[in-house]
Amino acid sequence: MDSNTTSLMIITGLSGAGKSSVLRTLEDFGYFCVDNLPPSLIPTFMELCSQARKPIDRIAIVVDIRGGEFFHDLSRALADVKETGIRPVILFLEADDDTLIRRYKFTRRRHPLSEQSGVLESIRDEREMLKDIRDKAHVVIDTSNLESQELRRQIIEIVSRTANLEQLIINVLTFGFKHGIPLDADLVFDVRFLPNPYYVDELKTQSGLDEEVAKYVLESPVSQKFLQYTTEFLDFLIPNFIEEGKTHLTIAIGCTGGRHRSVVIGEKIREYLESRGYMVIVEHRDIRLGEDRGDDS
């Protein structure tokens, strides 16, 4: 493992502040992700990664109070890792008390310290326990008023900055127009003119990730022509974005409900861009919203 190119992200913070969401985003970036690893094992884990047959140079580890007494070993473990030349980036997530309480009521999950006291007292105790590591964090994010998309965008920016990524990161986001156009989109493509699987009984309840749906949409000459023109347009556009120093690009693709056509086209564009060597993250924002209602997609 080359310490100069290895990226180690330590995610910590308050329970319920969004650490799992951050870990999923980092996994989309190709990070090797581990949840709730005892801090004392971090140096050993990093050594194992260095011995892997295929280099593991992007690593994300969630460390929090679920580790119990082991959590206090974090500072020493990170000091040991630094001695190898790797510089861990500590990302701390927090939220205000009212937000955390609402999230616990909504999910009906127990706070890790709830056996000792009530939810509010547990949150305040945890906040005090994490004070030292918060002071050492390189990045602190308050998720109290953040939607999942905004948190994801911030993580994209942090990864781009801390990992010294020079290449453009492309986010392919599919959506349904009936649920609103993504506000952070740089490019928006409307594919509502393509053949709609919603009107085929055996395809109606499936999604664009299913082979039968993809085949139905893609066998249309109109779909093939659209993909040809779109990929040619992106071949022209993306290098110019890169030259101007753009670090991330969001391409939004919308159909009526965000379940069939946009998903099929989004996956094809992802495949094409990856074949061109770009780093691509795909999110199908509305793919589940019409499951029970049978919304027109």
Residue 139 and residue 185 in one domain:
no
Residue 82 and residue 208 in one domain:
no
CB 59, CB 97: distance < 8 Å: no
In DSSP terms, which residues pair with 94 in a beta bridge?
A: 142
Which DSSP symbol is given to 207? -
Residue 28 and residue 74 in one domain:
yes
Residue 31 and residue 96 in one domain:
yes
**Residue 289 counted as domain residue:** no
Q: Which residues of the chain have pLDDT under 50?
A: 165, 292-294
Q: What is the pLDDT of residue 170?
A: 87
**Residue 1 counted as domain residue:** no
- End residue of a domain, out of 162, 196, 229: 162
Q: What radius of gyration, in Å, describes the C-alpha atoms of the chain?
A: 22
238 φ, ψ (degrees, to nearest 5): -60, -45
pLDDT single digits (tens) 259-289: 999 999 999 999 999 899 888 888 888 888 7
Token pair for 46? 């990093």
Residue 193 and residue 155 in one domain:
no
Token pair for 22? 């951050």
Q: What is the pLDDT of residue 115?
A: 64
Residue 120 and residue 188 in one domain:
no
**Residue 297 counted as domain residue:** no
Q: What is the pLDDT of residue 34?
A: 92
Q: Is residue 90 within a helix (H) or strand (E), and if so which, with residue range? A: strand 89-94
Residue 153 and residue 182 in one domain:
no
Residue 26 and residue 119 in one domain:
yes
Range of the domain at 257: 169-284
pLDDT single digits (tens) 192-225: 999 999 999 999 999 999 999 999 999 999 999 9
Residue 32 and residue 179 in one domain:
no
Q: What is the pLDDT of residue 291?
A: 55
Q: What is the pLDDT of residue 162?
A: 62
- End residue of a domain, out of 137, 162, 187: 162
Taking each helix axis from N to C terminus, what angle separates 148-162 and 19-28, rounded to the nearest 10 degrees? 60
CATH number of the domain to which 67 belongs: 3.40.50.300
Taking each helix axis from N to C terminus, what angle separates 42-50 and 74-82, rounded to the nearest 10 degrees? 30
- End residue of a domain, out of 162, 192, 226: 162
CB 78, CB 113: distance < 8 Å: no
Cβ-Cβ contacts under 8 Å for 263 (sequence gap 6 or more): 174, 207, 208, 209, 284, 287
Residue 152 and residue 185 in one domain:
no
